[in-house]
Structure 1
Amino acid sequence: MQTASLLFLNTYSAFMYTGNRLDTGLEQHLNCKGKADDILRFGRVRYFAFGSNMNPGVLQGLRQVKPIKACPGFVKEYKLAFNLLGTPGIEPSFASAEPSDKEDDELHGVLFTLTRLDWEKVARTEGVGLAYSLEEVVVNTYQGSKLQAVTLRTKPGPLRAPFGKDIQPSEGYLDLLIQGAEYYNLNKEYKDKLRSIRPNPAVLVNTKNMYRFLGINVSN
């Protein structure tokens, strides 16, 4: 099995933890309250999600990670990239937070406060150290706070798309991002930007059905 296929299986093995569905009580944690000047405090970690982990069906329903707090926000001078190699014909790429040389670029997502154990689960199932490296960022919440957090950037090496290029993801994967953006009511302009991304035409399977099989409901 190729390295890319191993990555795909490792990344999505996290989706098989449980068949439990979304705990709708998560909605009560949508407001970020209080400030801390460090990423890790009192055994908790602030994690900025911009990819499939924005989708509560992925993070909470299937990864079994239950955020203490969650609120929308953005990181300035960063952009959404699809440069983590996946499995050709199935899931060609996964999302990454990439620095941008454009001052007006913003990467929107969800700032989660997690227990240390839940953060370790995210890091392990996302392949931190193999696929991703940690990136320290300052998140501007929609409520006006600025908080330090960690996010994920594709690690240099064989799993990073060459020549600084993006590889279009599948339609099913894009749906996961769009649903997460809708759930957390991200900036309309950013949601429109997600919807404008064209899915990879070389995908050979119905990834919407694939994610349904994994217990994630995606749009029709």
Structure 2
Amino acid sequence: MRGFGMERNVLASLGFLPQFPCMMNHGHHRFPLDTEVRVSVRTMMTARQEIGSGEEGTVQYFAYGSNLNPSVLGSSAPFLSPRRVDILDWRPAKLVGYELQFYRTGLPLEPAFANVEISKSDDGEESWWSGEVHGVVFRMSWDAFWRRLWPSEGWPRVADVDVNLYDGKIVQRVKIFTWKPVLSGECAPSTRYARLVIDGARARGLMPEYVSFLLRRTEILRSGIDEGVYSRIFSPQGRLDSKLEEFANYGHFRSGRIRILPLHREKGKRNRTLVYFPGLDGTGLGILPHVSELEKTFDIWTLIIPQRDNLSWDDLLDTVRREMSQLPETCVIIGESMGAAIALALISRFGTIARSLVVVNTATSFSRSTTARLLSTVAFTPSVAYRVTLAAALPVIFDVPYAFSGFRDYPRALDALTKVIMSEDFLPQDALKHRLGYIRAACEELDDRRLRNITTPIQTVATRNDGILPSVDEARRLHSLIGRASLEPIVLNFGGHCCVLDDRFPLSQILQKMEKVTSPYTRTP
């Protein structure tokens, strides 16, 4: 009987059949999920009297899974689906004190469905992944809820909860469905089910940050990577405080718009402003190893280029310029690889947009690098070959042995990095193709004439063991063209291509040196 109910759950997600045949539980906010009450005609009659705060004859229901999607619940559902009901109105809301889970079904086609559980967080802090479940409060008729929607879900447990609308109002005694999983533990939902939930969240206007969380949650489950892996990759020596770890692992780079976000701001103290421009990864996390040292004198911000960014080159520069105009003061920019090329193009096109600029292993040498051109062809190979090649290129990109020397177990650390690169969570092929277009556009724009016109103080930095670009030669070329505004290039013997990630990178000393030569601006945009 249990197996039969689980098989029906596959069709239930399509809106045709119920999900797990479970018991129903009436309760209040913070309901005990392990309490069950048998369904009966008497319960149905009681439910009719418990219409709640809505108008007579209607029920308010909080959806958080596939029922968010208009093609699953509402007038746009399949013609024969019991979930094809009239929605009288709907409002985005959040349920505080609970966590979204994807429980196992044991089925091959639909291995997991959405569920909620009381949050296990004891610190009282609310965050997207522990403490809030966002969804929609639907108002529908009593018959639509109890005679169509509820049976179509397999008669799950029903509870009354209080939810917070996005406009700040509280709605009490809203119905919510929960399931007691047959199998323990979470697993990744199917791509089809995950897409229903995510597209439904977007269609219903849920907060972009929560949509980003849904993407991150499903992709992490699907890839099998551990949620703390990004903080370990971008700070291999493990020296991040809890806030920076949370920032690294949240995954701002997965979705949303191009934006500049704060990594550290000192309240009540006027520090100088520093902005980091990332390389091809676009995560903005490469500067994390240096935050603890720089936060004494700088408010630190980072540029995020999301995976699904598809702006043109001109729109990219305009967007970054607008973002920088919102900063409290003219800043110092640190650009690495692609980020260095973007930063040079910005100050070439818009003038004094920065107080000074540090460019590291600048990607403006891309067209003169055979290795870079060969690696760029990987973006057009089959998915498996693409991931394998990225993983094989790690020793060329990073100074791998040193990067993981802070770990007690080097093989496990390297395995974690390889697993991220092999997953769909890191630098999708379409993102790489688009960003290579940015680099080519920067190389075309930054001709000798434009470089000679730059007056913003610039420090070029290059590493001898950069296995991707001829960075030392490029640093010297930029220095000769930019002339008086350029300081003598700094050449390092360590760090690989992504040398800013190396905690030996002397960023603090470089910035102190830049401060001594920075002069007031004379150019106007």
Alignment TM-score > 0.5, same fold:
yes
The residue that corresponds to 2:8 in the other structure is: 6
The residue that corresponds to 1:72 in the other structure is: 92
In the alignment, residue 7 of structure 1 is paired with which amino acid? N
Give the TM-score taking structure 1 as reference length: 0.71
Q: Which has the higher helix share?
A: 2
- The offset of 1:178, in angstroms, is 0.7
Matched-pair identity in %: 30
Matches within 5 A, 1:156-195: 159-162=181-184, 165-195=185-215
The residue that corresponds to 2:170 in the other structure is: 146
Distance 1:13 1:79 in 2: 24
- The offset of 1:177, in angstroms, is 0.7
Distance 1:77 1:65 in 2: 30
In the alignment, residue 181 of structure 1 is paired with which amino acid? A
Distance 1:136 1:8 in 2: 26
Q: SS of the counterpart of 1:117?
A: helix
Distance 1:119 1:84 in 2: 26
Post-superposition Cα deviations, 1:92-143, rounded to whole Å, max 9, x if no partner, equal 0111121113241100000001101110211010112xxx211221110011
The residue that corresponds to 1:210 in the other structure is: none
Equivalent pairs counted in the alignment come to 172
Aligned counterpart in structure 2 of residue 114 of structure 1, from 124, 140, 153? 140
Distance 1:184 1:64 in 2: 17
- The offset of 1:201, in angstroms, is 6.9
Matches within 5 A, 1:14-93: 14-15=15-16, 38-39=52-53, 41-60=55-74, 61-62=76-77, 63-83=83-103, 85=105, 88-93=107-112
- The offset of 1:13, in angstroms, is 6.5
Query: Does the aligned pair in 2 maintain the 1:80–1:95 contact within 8 Å?
Result: yes
Q: Which has the larger radius of gyration?
A: 2
Runs of 4+ in 1 over 3 A off after TM superposition: 12-16, 199-202
Q: Residues 13, 168 of structure 1: CA spacing in aligned structure 2 closer, same or farther, 3 A cutoff?
A: closer
The residue that corresponds to 1:137 in the other structure is: 161
Give the TM-score taking structure 2 as reference length: 0.31
1:96 lines up with 2:115 in the alignment = yes
In the alignment, residue 55 of structure 1 is paired with which amino acid? N
Between 1 and 2, higher relative CO (CA 8 Å, sep ≥ 6) is seen in: 1
Query: Does the aligned pair in 2 maintain the 1:52–1:177 contact within 8 Å?
Result: yes
Distance 1:88 1:176 in 2: 18
Q: Residues 66, 193 of structure 1: CA spacing in aligned structure 2 closer, same or farther, 3 A cutoff?
A: same
Distance 1:58 1:48 in 2: 14
- The offset of 1:79, in angstroms, is 1.2
Query: Does the aligned pair in 2 maintain the 1:134–1:153 contact within 8 Å?
Result: yes
Q: Residues 125, 190 of structure 1: CA spacing in aligned structure 2 closer, same or farther, 3 A cutoff?
A: same
Query: Does the aligned pair in 2 maintain the 1:84–1:95 contact within 8 Å?
Result: no
